[in-house]
Structure 1
Amino acid sequence: MIQFTDISKSFDGRMVLEDVSGTFKPGDTNLIIGGSGTGKSVLLKCLIGLVKPDHGNVLYNDRDFWNSDEDTRKQIRREMGVLFQGGALFDSKTVAQNVRFPLEMLTNMSESEKDDRVNFCLSRVGLEQAAGRMPSEISGGMKKRVGIARAIVMNPKYLFCDEPNSGLDPLTSIKIDELIKEITDEYHITTVVITHDMNSVLEIGEKVMFLYKGHKVWEGDNTTITQSKVTELNEFIFANKLLRDMSRQ
């Protein structure tokens, strides 16, 4: 479980997040949504340790990330899997080598154990036949699946996905959403997804947090979000629907 309290962050005197709190439970797909510039990516970076908040706490199963010693923070980081926007694959490495990279850096596994783990993760995302291919030889959707395989190769307790559907067509986006949901359920991971895609919200949003101008202004799930009385959220939903309708024309 991830608990964060009163997270605030400013850059050059401009407040980006202000007193944002929440709880993300294992086995749920937890979505953070909002328009561009609302602070959702900064919140993600505060949670995974890339940006230190000005104040506030982040707890991983009651371990205070920012107020712990470096060894504890390293241990928590080893329990994280991160799917970065765009996949962030190494262009000079094969698909299998990209997935294998965390094992090489962070474990003492034998070569055969690494091979077995990489093969298992590629099989789990349906890419066992692409192991020897280069990132330039596969599609955008396949790159996202490679990114997911790399994110789960260390058996993480916490999975973070930054705009996993960015740049993908609607059908591929649905498949990525389904894969994230299946992995979350199967391994009982605490999954956090940053997105602006309402299709993802309605499909896998078991818990949804809506940010607006650095504040949390609504929290609920995909069964109640369309019943919200929050003006900013309703405008966000309407804008998403309008974009989807235009893309189908």
Structure 2
Amino acid sequence: MIEVSNIVKAFSGKEVLKGISATFQKGQTNLIIGGSGTGKSVLLKCMIGLARPDQGNVLYDGRDFYNSDKDTQQALRREMGVLFQGGALFDSKTVEENVRFPLDMLTDQSAQEKQDRVAFCLQRVGLEAAAKRMPSEISGGMKKRVGIARAIVMNPIYLFCDEPNSGLDPLTSVKIDELIKEITEEYQITTIIITHDMNSVLEIGDNITFLYQGNKLWEGESKDITRTNVPELREFLFSNKLLREMQN
């Protein structure tokens, strides 16, 4: 479980996050939604240590990330897997080398142990046949799956996904959603997904947090979201064609 408490973050005097508190449960796909510029990605960066909040705490199963010593913070980072929006693959490395990179950087495993773990992760995302290919030789959807394999190669307890469906066609987006959902439940990971994809919200969102202009305006289950009375959330939801059709 991850708990964020009263997270405040400002850039150049402009407050981007205005006291965000939320709880993200183990074994669930926890989605953070909202329009552009609402603070979603900044909140994720504060959670994983890429941006330090000006105020507030982030607790990982009760462990205070920002009020811990350096060794504890490093240990917590090793328990995190991150799928970046653009994939962030190394163009000069093969698929298997990209997946192995965290093991090379952060572990003392033997070459055989690394090879076995990489092979398992590639098999888990259905890419064992692409191990020797370069990123330029695979599709966008395959790159996302490579990113997922790399994100789980260290056996993370916490998984962060920033717009995992960005740039993908609808069918591939569904497959990526299903894969993240399966991995979350299979390994009982605490998964947090930044997204604006309403299909993801309706199909795999166990818990939804809605941000608007740096404030949390709604939190709940996906089955309840279309019945919201929060005007900003209703405007966000029903500007989406899929949800307009559902209402008619």
Is TM-score (shorter-chain normalized) higher than 0.5? Answer: yes
Q: Which residue number corresponds to residue 193 of structure 1?
A: 193
Contact kept? 2:30, 2:206, Cα under 8 Å: yes
Residues 141-171 of structure 1 show CA distances to partners (whole Å, capped at 9, x for unaligned) of 0000000000000000000000000000000
Contact kept? 2:47, 2:58, Cα under 8 Å: yes
Tell me the amino acid that sits aligned with residue 232 of structure 2. E
Contact kept? 1:208, 1:220, Cα under 8 Å: yes
Distance 1:244 1:145, change over 3 A: farther
Asked if residue 159 in structure 1 is aligned to residue 193 in structure 2, the reply is no
Residues 194-228 of structure 1 show CA distances to partners (whole Å, capped at 9, x for unaligned) of 00111100011000000000000000111000000
Asked if residue 133 in structure 1 is aligned to residue 101 in structure 2, the reply is no
Structure 2: unaligned runs, 5 residues or longer: none
Q: Output the CA distance in 2 between the equivalents of 1:149 and 1:240.
A: 31
Asked if residue 86 in structure 1 is aligned to residue 86 in structure 2, the reply is yes
Residues 28-64 of structure 1 show CA distances to partners (whole Å, capped at 9, x for unaligned) of 0000000100000000000000000000000011110
Q: Output the CA distance in 2 between the equivalents of 1:44 and 1:244.
A: 29
Contact kept? 2:28, 2:206, Cα under 8 Å: yes
Residues 49-60 of structure 1 mapped to structure 2, 5 A cutoff: 49-60=49-60
- Normalised to the residue count of structure 2, the TM-score between the two structures is 0.97
- Normalised to the residue count of structure 1, the TM-score between the two structures is 0.97
Partner of 2:229, secondary structure, is coil
* CA-CA distance at 1:241 after TM superposition: 2.1
Residues 1-249 of structure 1 mapped to structure 2, 5 A cutoff: 1-241=1-241
Tell me the amino acid that sits aligned with residue 94 of structure 1. T
Partner of 2:226, secondary structure, is helix
Tell me the amino acid that sits aligned with residue 38 of structure 2. T
Contact kept? 1:8, 1:17, Cα under 8 Å: yes
Tell me the amino acid that sits aligned with residue 201 of structure 1. V
Residues paired across the two proteins, number: 245
Tell me the amino acid that sits aligned with residue 134 of structure 1. M
Contact kept? 2:103, 2:154, Cα under 8 Å: yes
Residues 57-114 of structure 1 show CA distances to partners (whole Å, capped at 9, x for unaligned) of 0001111001111100000000000000011000000000000000000011110010
* CA-CA distance at 1:242 after TM superposition: 6.7
Q: Output the CA distance in 1 between the equivalents of 2:226 and 2:86.
A: 29
Partner of 2:185, secondary structure, is helix
* CA-CA distance at 1:173 after TM superposition: 0.2
- Pairwise CA RMSD: 1.2
Contact kept? 1:197, 1:240, Cα under 8 Å: no
Q: Output the CA distance in 2 between the equivalents of 1:220 and 1:109.
A: 41
* CA-CA distance at 1:244 after TM superposition: 9.5
Distance 1:133 1:244, change over 3 A: farther
Q: Output the CA distance in 1 between the equivalents of 2:208 and 2:15.
A: 23
Partner of 1:227, secondary structure, is coil
Q: Output the CA distance in 2 between the equivalents of 1:165 and 1:244.
A: 21
Q: Output the CA distance in 2 between the equivalents of 1:195 and 1:142.
A: 19
Structure 1: unaligned runs, 5 residues or longer: none
Tell me the amino acid that sits aligned with residue 152 of structure 1. I
